[in-house]
Amino acid sequence: RVKQASHNNFAFFTQEMQTHSARHLQLNNAMHFALARGELSLHYQPQFSLQDGHIVGAEALLRWQHPEMGSLSPAEFIPIAEDNGQILAIGEWVLRTAVTQLKHWIDGGMAPMVVAVNLSAVQFRHPNLLTMVTQILDEVGLPPQYLELELTEAMAMDNPMAAIALMNQLHERGIRMAIDDFGTGYSSLSYLKKFNVSKLKIDQSFVRDISDGQDDKAIVTAIINLAASLNLKTIAEGVESASQLAFLRLQGCDEAQGYYFSKPLPVAAFEAFVQAQQPVS
Ligand code: C2E
Ligand code: MG
Ligand code: MG
Ligand code: MG
């Protein structure tokens, strides 16, 4: 786009690219050992019903703790894993780990809840997804209705007809789906009606400004009403304050997750959180 970069700008740009690519290369290389070396783990963030305050689900969020580089953000390393293909092995590991964990919790007497797993666009496009997911559920012995797959509007809109077919197949097997980061993409309303999902996750950028921004209030309300008219549930992401929560409840949002309730937690801390939990009112 920028056609008239000066010589100085150009020099600056190439230097930045080199820094970026050195880091990229480092992560790219380290990633090939991350799974085998046990550097990956999942944290779980509780999701709450706004009707009765109970925990109804947990979103599994990937964490990578590298011995030298420290803790790495999925926002940084997942795009690299998508480029080098590692996302398929990592994504399968995430799914198996999350499903196994929930089975273990339910068998141990924890009140049943849904585990939400984020899918990558690369996984969503891969012809083996349906088989992989159903095999893991069978192996582990978790009924499919306990799993919710999160996908984004962009993933569904990349090839809407293929997405509709896949969503129908997943739905037939009893697996739920939610649209993550809803409102930031560009899904057309006519397609949204055909997507066999059960929930819209209201993006945290809209939730963040509820307290002061009139526009975002209107967007949140519009999404909740849209979802209701399509018979979909809504969950608000990134809820950080009591006033955001009060507004969401007033508008009829079904569920919420965010730092106001809890950050994503490692397994033992999540278990302790659930045990200590009184319904949030
Ligand atoms: P996401 O699925 O939209 O997840 C929500 C992100 O918001 C998470 O960041 C979560 O830790 C953070 N969050 C939760 N509550 C709050 C809050 O109240 N305030 C703020 N400011 N942030 C909050 P995280 O864990 O860094 O993950 C970032 C993104 O990386 C995720 O966005 C998702 O797109 C991707 N991701 C994470 N785990 C996986 C995975 O296993 N597979 C794939 N394909 N993507 C993943
Ligand atoms: Mg998500
Ligand atoms: Mg999200
Ligand atoms: Mg996201």
Give the model confidence (pLDDT) of 89-103 as tens digits: 999 999 999 999 999
Do residues 47 and 56 make contact, with C-beta atoms less than 8 angstroms apart? yes
A 10 A CB-CB count for 84 gives: 13
pLDDT band at 10 (very low <50, low <70, confident <90, very high): low
Residue 73: CB within 6 Å of ligand 1?
yes
Q: Could you identify the residue written with the tokens 């526009």?
A: 215
Q: Which of 173-191 are b and which e, b meaning 16 or more Cβ less than 10 Å from the residue's Cβ?
A: eebbbbbbbbbeeebeeee
pLDDT at residue 281 is higher than 90? no
pLDDT band at 188 (very low <50, low <70, confident <90, very high): confident
A 10 A CB-CB count for 121 gives: 15
Do residues 116 and 58 make contact, with C-beta atoms less than 8 angstroms apart? yes
Q: What percent of the chain has pLDDT over 70?
A: 91
Of ligand 1's listed atoms, the one at least distance from the Cα of 260 is: 18
- Rounded to whole angstroms, the Cα distance separating 165 from 196 reads 9
Ligand 1 center to residue 61 CA distance, Å?
Answer: 6
Which ligand ends up closest to the CA of 62? 1
Residue 94: CB within 6 Å of ligand 1?
yes
Helix axes 129-140, 160-172, angle to 10 degrees: 20
Six token digits for residue 51: 């009707």
pLDDT tens per residue, range 174-184: 999 999 999 99
DSSP state of 265: B
Of ligand 1's listed atoms, the one at least distance from the Cα of 94 is: 41
For a substitution probing ligand 1, which of 47, 94, 118, 150 has the most ligand atoms within 8 Å of its CB?
118
pLDDT at residue 263 is higher than 80? yes
Helix axes 86-107, 7-34, angle to 10 degrees: 50
- Average pLDDT value over all residues in the chain: 92
A 10 A CB-CB count for 241 gives: 15
pLDDT tens per residue, range 207-236: 998 876 677 789 999 999 999 999 999 999
Cα distances (angstroms) measured from residue 126 to each of 120, 123, 131: 10, 5, 10
Do residues 233 and 255 make contact, with C-beta atoms less than 8 angstroms apart? yes
Residue 57: CB within 6 Å of ligand 1?
no
Ligand 1 atom 9, closest CA: 61
User: How much is the pLDDT for 178?
Assistant: 98
- pTM for this model (two decimals): 0.93
pLDDT tens per residue, range 136-159: 999 999 999 999 999 999 999 999
pLDDT at residue 106 is higher than 50? yes
Q: What percent of the chain has pLDDT over 90?
A: 85
Ligand 1 center to residue 7 CA distance, Å?
Answer: 39
Beta-bridge partner residues of 59: 45, 116
Alpha helices in the chain (DSSP H): 7-34, 74-84, 86-107, 121-125, 129-140, 153-158, 160-172, 189-194, 204-208, 214-229, 242-251, 267-276
ipTM of the complex: 0.98
Do residues 48 and 274 make contact, with C-beta atoms less than 8 angstroms apart? no
